[in-house]
């Protein structure tokens, strides 16, 4: 019953906040359709805000764009700060747009500090915002969750989402329960022999250390890194939070042993932290996995065009 009310409320909001532009969206293809093993879409930091029409438009146009992929993404991961303040209205607007325009079957939601931290703008605290985040997720998505950390196995690939277990400001707090859950999931994933895709709003401390130093995992960074290295899996770790845009070359990723860390630009806010080559909004990642290679292609989902930025990693 509550879910039905939330869906009704969201549908009304979506109707009022966004109408598609007249621009025709051209269909687009992966680089090598015949050899593609799986593809998925990653965006972060959409910061949907009640009174900011540009942010509503970004999500609406973005979901419409994703729907034009000739080979549909098998997952859409949203890496946190999906809303600005975690307000009821903002969650309603986000899921209203998602329900109306998104066509990707598997949607995986990570929470960022803006979604779950109390402030004057949401008049709530962590517990209430966490419950709200989960309630909306479960009212709209097939992928049901009971914590902010969760995972899905899609076509044999493990998609692992981490969260923060308390309000830790702009950093992350990982509870013993989450660490023990992660250990179990990574152990299971290592048996798949496939690369693991990990989505965490916060980057490890030493990955992009020059950009917004406080805005990283924080005190538990080394412990998290050790957990990720334990089973020797090939891991691709996608993080947002930094709003640092996209770099030509290796400024936006770091490779360390079997782990590749990839920055996801902010989809909704200006990417003005750091000195990136592309700082506009609307940017996200289209990830294509082939037998021996993973390709990250940066697309402007709002402008409906590929950028010139692309990263390739050996598998």
- Which of 37-45, 206-214, 246-254, 295-303 is the region at the interface with Fe ion (rule: CB under 5 A)? 37-45
Where does this chain touch Fe ion (CB under 5 A) — which range of 9-17, 78-86, 186-194, 217-225?
78-86
Residue 191 and residue 56: Cα distance in Å, rounded? 41
Nearer to Fe ion, 152 or 242 (CB): 242
Phi-psi region of 27 (alpha: psi -120 to 50; beta: other; left: phi over 0): beta
Give whichever of 95 and 202 is closer to Fe ion, judged by the CB atom.
202
Minimum gap (Å) between residue 238 Cβ and Fe ion: 14
Q: Any bridge partners for residue 109, and if so which?
A: 78
Helix pair 53-66, 2-17: axis angle to 10 deg: 100
The residue behind tokens 């020059």 is 210
Q: What is the rounded distance in angstroms from the CA atom of residue 305 to the CA atom of residue 15?
A: 25
Determine if 288 is a binding residue for Fe ion (CB under 5 A): no
Residue 43 vs 196, nearer CB to Fe ion: 43
Which residues are bridge partners to 262 per DSSP? Answer: 238, 253
Q: Which stretch binds Fe ion (CB under 5 A): 4-12, 56-64, 73-81, 98-106?
A: 73-81
Is the Cβ of residue 61 or residue 81 nearer to Fe ion in the bound state?
81
**Which range of residues in 44-52, 135-143, 207-215, 253-261 is near Fe ion by CB under 5 A?**
44-52
Q: What is the CA radius of gyration of the chain?
A: 18
Taking CB under 5 A as the criterion, which residues in 232-261 touch Fe ion?
none
Nearest to 67 by CA among 106, 122, 28: 28
Nearest CB to Fe ion, comparing residues 109 and 139: 109
Q: How far is the CB of 304 from Fe ion (least distance, A)?
A: 23
Q: Does 115 bind Fe ion (CB under 5 A)?
A: no
Strand order in the sheet with 38-43: 107-110, 75-79, 38-43, 283-289, 293-300, 305-314
Provide the token pair at 226. 């050790």
Q: Which residue has the tokens 């549909």?
A: 72
Cβ closest to Fe ion, residue 233 vs residue 263 = 263
Residue nearest to Fe ion (CB): 81
Q: Which is nearer to Fe ion, 57 or 269 (CB)?
A: 269
Nearest residue to 223 via CA among 179, 159, 280, 270 = 179
Separation of alpha carbons 155 and 178, rounded Å: 24
Q: How far is the CB of 196 from Fe ion (least distance, A)?
A: 24
According to the binding rule CB under 5 A, does residue 81 interact with Fe ion? yes
Q: Contact region for Fe ion (CB under 5 A) — 40-48, 60-68, 164-172, 297-305?
A: 40-48
Of 103 and 272, nearer to Fe ion (C-beta) is: 272
CA angle at 283 for the pair 280 and 289, rounded to the nearest 5°: 150
Euclidean distance between CA atoms 280 and 277, whole angstroms: 10
Q: Which stretch binds Fe ion (CB under 5 A): 11-19, 41-49, 224-232, 275-283?
A: 41-49
CB of residue 225 to Fe ion, shortest distance in Å: 22
Q: List, in sequence order, every beta strand (DSSP E) within the chain.
A: 38-43, 75-79, 107-110, 150-154, 157-161, 196-199, 235-239, 253-256, 259-263, 283-289, 293-300, 305-314
Q: Establish if 45 lies at the interface with Fe ion (CB under 5 A).
A: yes
- Binding-site size for Fe ion (CB under 5 A) equals 2
Decide: is 171 part of the binding site for Fe ion (CB under 5 A).
Answer: no
Least Å distance, CB 171 to Fe ion, is 13
Question: What is the nearest approach in angstroms of Fe ion to the Cβ of residue 302?
Answer: 17
**Which residues make up the interface to Fe ion (CB under 5 A)?**
45, 81
């Amino acid at each position: 019953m509550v879910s039905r009310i939330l869906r009704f409320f969201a549908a009304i909001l979506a109707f009022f906040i966004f109408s598609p532009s007249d621009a025709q969206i051209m269909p687009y293809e992966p680089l090598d359709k015949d050899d593609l093993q799986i593809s998925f879409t990653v965006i972060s930091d959409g910061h949907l805000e009640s009174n900011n029409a540009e942010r509503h438009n970004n999500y609406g146009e973005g979901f419409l764009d994703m729907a034009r992929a000739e080979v549909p993404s098998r997952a859409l991961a949203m890496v946190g700060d999906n809303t600005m303040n975690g307000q009821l209205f903002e969650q309603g607007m986000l899921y209203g747009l998602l329900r109306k325009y998104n066509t990707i079957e598997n949607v995986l939601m990570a929470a960022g500090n803006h979604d779950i931290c109390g402030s004057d703008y949401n008049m709530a605290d962590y517990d209430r915002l966490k419950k709200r985040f989960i309630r909306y997720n479960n009212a709209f998505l097939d992928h049901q969750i009971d914590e902010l950390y969760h995972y899905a196995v899609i076509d044999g690939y493990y998609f692992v989402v981490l969260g923060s277990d308390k309000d830790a400001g702009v950093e992350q707090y990982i509870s013993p329960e989450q660490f023990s859950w992660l250990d179990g999931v990574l152990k299971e994933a290592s048996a798949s022999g496939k690369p693991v895709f990990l989505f965490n709003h916060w980057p490890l401390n030493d990955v992009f250390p020059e950009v917004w130093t406080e805005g990283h995992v924080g005190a538990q960074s080394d412990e998290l890194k050790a957990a990720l290295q334990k089973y020797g899996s090939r891991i691709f770790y996608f993080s947002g939070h930094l709003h640092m845009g996209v770099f030509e070359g290796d400024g936006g990723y770091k490779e360390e042993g079997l782990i590749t860390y990839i920055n996801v630009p902010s989809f909704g806010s200006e990417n003005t932290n750091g000195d990136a080559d592309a700082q506009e909004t609307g940017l996200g990642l289209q990830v294509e996995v082939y037998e021996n290679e993973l390709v990250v292609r940066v697309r402007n989902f709002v402008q409906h065009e590929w950028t010139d930025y692309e990263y390739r990693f050996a598998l």
